[in-house]
Amino acid sequence: MNIPVKYVALADQLILSGTSFMVVLMAARELSLEHLGIFSMLFLFIMTSGSLLQAFIIRPLMVLGGKKEEVESFSKKMYWLSIVSTAAIALVSAGFFPLYLMTSQLAFEPTWVLILLFLSFLYLKNDFVRKAFYLRKAHFKALFSGGINSGIQLGGIAFLALTTQFNLSNLLIVLLFGHSLQFLISSIWLGVFRASFISFQELKETGIECWNYSKWLLNKALVQWFSGNFVLLAAGSILGPAALGAIKIAQHLTGLINVALLALENFLPQNASALYSKSGFDALKSYTGKTTQKIVLASLPILLVVSIFTVSILNLLYGSSGETEVLSVRVFCLIQFFIILLAPLRIAFLAMSETKVLFMSYSVCAGICFLLSQSIISSFGLLGCFALLLFVQLFNLAVLLFYFNENKSKKTETCESYI
């Protein structure tokens, strides 16, 4: 039976996001708010590294790969390029993490840094191999490899909870083991161990091709750190890890909406790229509008329910509902709505290779956040942090809408439905 890729991608993302939800839920219930904050800081570093990898590796893999005939050869070259890139990014991430904790006057275990180094590499590499499966139309392999990791994580956290050994270090070890096994199995299924290594010249040529496409995206990823994650890290540094723990709970709850967005990321970029290449801007604009409508209709009711019944949901899931957590969840519902509106627009700009616009937009946000974060968060606390995060989404949405509507039509043709 031939199951459409969108359903496989949705099931895949439901499993991964559901697992992530349970991991953070158990962390929120079992760890102290300070250790939850440190856990959040750790994953902020991984996500920042992930944004660099997305820009330099994942986007070229999906967009450029969608235009190539020799997909298997291209994905193999990208695999080895991603090994080098991911190792470098993981080293930088692990190196800066203890420095950040020291500036925040927080104690840390040296083993956390070592775990972060390997977890960063494996987490980011598994993101690549899953996308490579989708590019090769091996959707079920992506589903099964992620399912193996999810099973290990869920079994591990259940064991830790039942044996009262649930602490930050043990949680990180469980995550590390799950991602290690997924990476090994996925690499075998991709066939990279059976194939010969690519030459340095091929690695260089592939790297240059990726750089030519993604240089503005890479710069955008760097400045995006200052327009988003920097604000959160500044909040943790100024207000303490407990504040960041409350924000993590809000992100965790409202982040359930990201399931649909992340599922679309597995196939939407190459579809949009192929459509724009074949049919021009008008078809892409129609496609983007239809995609946005479907995502909003699916997610808005969920955000409204979460916002209205915040107290009851927090009490049910986390066992408490402090004023800080309630406020954080309701504000993040609003922020998440603008993230939803931004996602299809951002993919459209990637399909058009108009990556400089993304870079310029985030650069302005980065400059403002970098200059004002200290004073605004110090003066207004979490409200100042929320105001800056909301500003980032609103500003980028306004800029992308303006430039998207100003784009000249290249070719008008009926838009085929891809989702």
Which pLDDT score, from 0 to 100, does residue 412 have? 39
Provide the domain limits for residue 97: 5-406
| pLDDT at residue 2, as a whole number | 65
Do the domain assignments include residue 417?
no
Q: How many domains does the chain have?
A: 1
Residue 121 lies in a domain: yes
pLDDT for 242: 67
3-state DSSP percent of the chain in helix, strand and coil, to 5: 85, 0, 15
DSSP 70-92: -HHHHHHHHHHHHHHHHHHHHHH
Q: For every one of its 419 residues, what pLDDT tens digit does the chain have, with 9 covering 90 and above?
A: 566 666 777 777 778 878 887 888 888 788 877 777 778 778 777 877 777 777 778 777 777 766 666 777 777 788 888 888 888 888 887 887 777 766 665 666 777 788 888 888 888 888 888 888 877 777 788 888 888 899 999 999 999 989 988 988 889 889 999 999 999 888 888 776 666 667 788 888 888 888 887 776 666 666 665 556 667 767 766 776 667 677 777 776 776 666 666 666 666 766 777 788 778 888 888 888 888 888 888 788 888 888 898 888 888 877 777 787 888 888 888 888 888 888 888 888 877 877 778 778 877 877 887 788 888 888 888 888 888 888 888 988 888 888 888 765 444 343 343 34
CB 391 within 8 Å of CB 365? yes
How far apart CA 251 and CA 36 sit, in angstroms, is 13
Cα distance between residue 72 and residue 134, in whole Å: 11
User: Is 413 domain-assigned?
Assistant: no
Within a domain: 157:
yes
Question: 415 in a domain, yes or no?
Answer: no
Asked if the structure places residue 418 within a domain, the reply is no
Cα three-residue angle 26-7-127, rounded to 5 degrees: 55
Provide the pLDDT for residue 416. Answer: 40
pLDDT number for residue 228 = 61
pLDDT at 158: 92
pLDDT in the model for residue 414 = 38
- 8 Å CB contact between 22 and 178: no
Look at residue 123 and tell me if it is in a domain. yes
Residue 32: left if φ>0, alpha if ψ -120 to 50, beta else—which one?
Answer: beta
Residue 152 lies in a domain: yes
